[in-house]
């Protein structure tokens, strides 16, 4: 299982950041699980530069620009320079702040160019009984991937994050059967965008109200490769409980 802890702007204290990192190091020794932390950018180098563990690090976003006179921007290249290996791109909170599909495609291409593995977030706002949400996901995936070269497309991890689940609790999260349906659907769309066996090899993770109460059931029954965890990844006690469900 790949567990990506998206700290968003919840963690604002370096002591807490170090504590969450220590917990992750402990659990990353368990075989079969890979933990990737996505702290707010200012904490990254304090955590990455002395990292000898197999905990990985992700940027929560990368700039659309490639550097220069761009006050306030943090480029893919600068993240890569401090040991970051992944980049969350197209998170719904960034899309709400103005990231269009075209911007997301550009960010993906910068990330790949600097050796980062993009974690591309897609997810519908709501579910309708006619299944229009499936078309919405297809469009998000196609728009993001079609501008990349075939080889670059194989580098991407897909995070399926329905907006109606984000920030809710386990009881309001997705049900395993609905998640199975979506994983199969995403693989079908990927098969149209990737060559040969690559669609089957792409990692698909789920995010949206993943908590200690539902992670085990979702992991066991939904063919998912991992999780993108928000609020349950920023409280050391709850994060530890969550990780314990997977060992």
Please report, as ranges, the residues that interact with ligand PGA according to CB under 6 A: 6, 161, 166-167, 207-210, 228-232
> Catalytic: 161?
yes
Given 91, 106, 124, 211, the catalytic residue: 91
Rounded distance between C-alpha atoms, residue 63 and residue 147, angstroms = 17
In the complex with ligand PGA, the residue whose CB is nearer, 118 or 208, is: 208
In the complex with ligand PGA, the residue whose CB is nearer, 27 or 239, is: 239
Q: Which of 181, 241, 178 lies closest to 211, judged by CA?
A: 241
- Minimum distance of ligand PGA from residue 89's CB (angstroms): 12
Given 124, 161, 211, 231, the catalytic residue: 161
- Minimum distance of ligand PGA from residue 231's CB (angstroms): 4
Distance of CA 147 to the CA centre of its chain: 20
In the complex with ligand PGA, the residue whose CB is nearer, 199 or 211, is: 211
By beta-carbon distance, which residue lies closest to ligand PGA?
A: 230
User: 111 is written with which tokens?
Assistant: 């990330």
Rounded distance between C-alpha atoms, residue 235 and residue 5, angstroms = 11
Rounded distance between C-alpha atoms, residue 29 and residue 186, angstroms = 30
- Minimum distance of ligand PGA from residue 233's CB (angstroms): 7
Rounded distance between C-alpha atoms, residue 153 and residue 195, angstroms = 9
Which residues are known to be catalytic?
91, 161
């Amino acid at each position: 299982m790949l567990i990506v802890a998206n700290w968003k702007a919840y963690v604002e204290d370096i002591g807490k950041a170090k504590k969450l990192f220590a917990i992750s190091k402990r659990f990353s020794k368990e075989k079969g699980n890979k933990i990737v932390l996505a702290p707010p950018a200012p904490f990254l180098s304090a955590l990455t530069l002395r990292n000898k563990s197999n905990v990985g690090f992700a940027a929560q976003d990368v700039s659309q620009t490639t550097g220069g006179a761009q006050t306030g921007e943090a480029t893919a290249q600068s993240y890569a320079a401090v040991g970051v290996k992944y980049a969350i791109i197209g998170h719904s909170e960034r899309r709400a702040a103005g990231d269009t599909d075209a911007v997301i495609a550009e960010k993906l291409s910068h990330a790949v160019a600097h050796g980062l593995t993009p974690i591309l977030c897609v997810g519908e706002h709501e579910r309708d009984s006619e299944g229009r949400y499936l078309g919405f996901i297809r469009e998000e995936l196609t728009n993001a991937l079609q501008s990349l070269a075939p080889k670059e497309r194989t580098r991407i991890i897909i995070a399926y994050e329905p907006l109606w689940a984000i920030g809710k609790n386990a009881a309001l999260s997705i049900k395993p059967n609905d998640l199975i349906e979506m994983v199969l659907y995403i693989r079908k769309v990927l098969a149209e965008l990737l060559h040969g066996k690559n669609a089957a090899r792409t990692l698909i993770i789920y995010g949206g109200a993943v908590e200690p109460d539902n992670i085990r059931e979702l992991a066991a029954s939904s063919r998912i490769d991992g999780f993108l965890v928000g609020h349950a990844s920023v409280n050391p006690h709850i994060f530890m409980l969550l990780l314990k469900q997977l060992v």
